Each structure stands twice: as structure tokens, then as C-alpha cells.
Structure 1
Amino acid sequence: MNMSKIAQMPGHLIRRLNQVAVSLFLEEVGKGGYDLTPVQYAALAELEIAPGIDQATLAARIAYDRATIGGVVNRLVAKGLVDRDTSSRDRRAKQLSLTEEGKRVRADIEPLVEEVQRRILTGLSVGEGEVLVKLLQKAVEAGNEHSRAPMRSDEE
């Protein structure tokens, strides 16, 4: 098979793999009866381990743009999955936490998300998949500061 130059470029391949990953996510989660995007899932997963964080911190922890995280949170609040309360430390800030329904949904879709991860690596052996994940982690970490939304473990 004659490959075009673009089909050999890492940026193009990463974009294509992201398209595959999003499509598989929406398919699997949709089959389970849930209407969630990968970013909404990331927000739920992060709020489960860090309840009470504010929107800016959530954005930093999932490497999402601060200007658009509000829309993600608004949709999760509208779906009854996240509560947004005024911070006791800063009246301007809103603390986020999962509702009981949010916790249930997050737990229910975990096996679906794990299936997506397996399907993303279709065509690779288990060892190749492990190597790919390690290399992706290494590349993402090295390029984190070049992102429009760098990942931060805590708001800096």
C-alpha cells in the first residue's frame, strides 16, 4: 500500500486516533444508554477523586481550556450529575462535586470506558499496546507546556 506523506506524520496519526477514540467512546457509552462525551467523563472521574475543586482547577487537572470548561460543567449540572456550590473560602468560586446520580453513572460506565480503551488498541498485541501507552505518556508529558491547556495536578 502506497502511503501518503501525511499518513506517516505523527500529528496526523494522533488526530486520527483521537477521532477513533471519540467515536468508540460515544458508541460504547451510547449503547449503555448514557449521553456523555469523553471530556464530560474526564470531569466526572476527576471530581470523584477530588470533590470540592473549582472549575479552574478541574480544567487544569483534565487539561481542558478554562474558557470552555463552564459549558462542560453546565451540561453535567443540567444532567443532574454534578453539584455546583459557592465556595466557603472564596464567594466568587464555585465548588464542584458529584451528585449521588453522578457517582452511580460514573461507576456504571467504567466497564464501558475500559472496553473503549481495549478497542482503541485493536490490532496491537497486549505488549504493543503497553508500549504505545508508555510512549504516548512520555510524549504528552514532554509537550505538556506547549498545549493551549496544559495539564496541572493542582491550579498554579
Structure 2
Amino acid sequence: MRDNNDMPGHLARRFQQIAVAVFHAEAEAAGYDLTPVQYAALAAISASPGIDQVTLAGLIAYDRTTITGVVDRLVQKGLIERRASSRDRRARELQITGEGRRTLEDIAPAVEAAQQLLVRGLSAGETEELMRLLRKAIAAGNELSRAPLREVATEGSKNG
């Protein structure tokens, strides 16, 4: 039987647990009640104003059920708004609010501190190598996920 420390799945889960704990601690210390997925969603909506929830889910690799709750909480916190789509009356577009923009700006140092804490035991070269290997492994396994990462289509390539 293999030791857990020889299993990539176990190590990935442990690293994720650490990443979430560090993010929460840094965000809380900065005075924010924001989870890593809420932050990812807020940043994605800021970068792609008007995206819908399905596109957002693909963009940050979360399943559609989970993203609904994330969006609901961001709306409740006043960080984003849902608006009727001008292109599809069934769809709802997501827009960041002024408060959401301020939150993204203000929490940025805490997010950066969290990222640095995650690799504090590594040299700069080791950090680059870890990031390269994580990207490679994730790209190779992306389609195996229940929520694969999807690229956002540009305006000219959207169907509809």
C-alpha cells in the first residue's frame, strides 16, 4: 500500500486545504469575508463584464450548481449585480458594482500575501517549476474534471 505522501491526489488535496485556510486567514485579517471562489468569481466578472453564470462557471472551473450559490452571495454582499441580458432574455448578465471594484482593489495585497505564503518554503526557481508542473498536470487532466476550465469566447466567436 502506498503512503499518502506518495499519492498526487492526496498531496493536491492537502495543498488545496492549505491554500483555502491561508486565503481565509489573509482575507479576514484584511477585514474581508470573501472565500477563494468568491474572489475568483469577482475577479472574473470584473475582467469580463456582462458574462453569464454558465460562462463564469467555465471560466473559473466550477460546476453550475456551485456557481449559483457563489453568485447569490456576491449579489447579497452588494459586490455584483444580475441584469437581464440584452442578447438573450432568458440569460442574466453579471456586472461588478462600485463596491465590488473597491473590494477587489483593497483585498489585492491580502491575496498576494496568501499566494506568497503558499510557496514560502520554495526558492524562486522552485516556485516557477511548481507552477509550470501544476499548469501542465491541470491541462492534461482538465477534461477529467466535473467542472473543466473553459475559455471565454470572444464577441466574434460567440454563437447565437
TM range, normalised to the smaller chain? over 0.9
Aligned to 2:145: 147
Match of 2:62 among 56, 61, 64: 64
Per-residue deviation, 1:6: 1.0
Query: Which amino acid letter does the alignment assign opposite residue 139 of structure 2?
Result: E
Runs of 4+ in 1 over 6 A off after TM superposition: none
CA RMSD, 1 decimal = 1.2
Aligned to 1:43: 41
TM-score with structure 2 setting the length: 0.93
Aligned to 1:88: 86
Per-residue deviation, 1:65: 0.4
Equivalent residues in 2 for 1:1-156 (5 A)?
5-154=3-152
Query: Which amino acid letter does the alignment assign opposite residue 87 of structure 2?
Result: R
Partners of 1:38 and 1:75 lie apart in 2 by 13
Count of residues paired in the alignment:
153
Identity %: 58
Indicate the SS of the match to 1:153.
coil
Per-residue deviation, 1:8: 1.5
Partners of 2:44 and 2:8 lie apart in 1 by 28
Query: Which amino acid letter does the alignment assign opposite residue 70 of structure 2?
Result: V
Deviations along 1:30-69, one digit per CA (max 9) or x if unpaired, are 0011000000000011011100000000000000001221
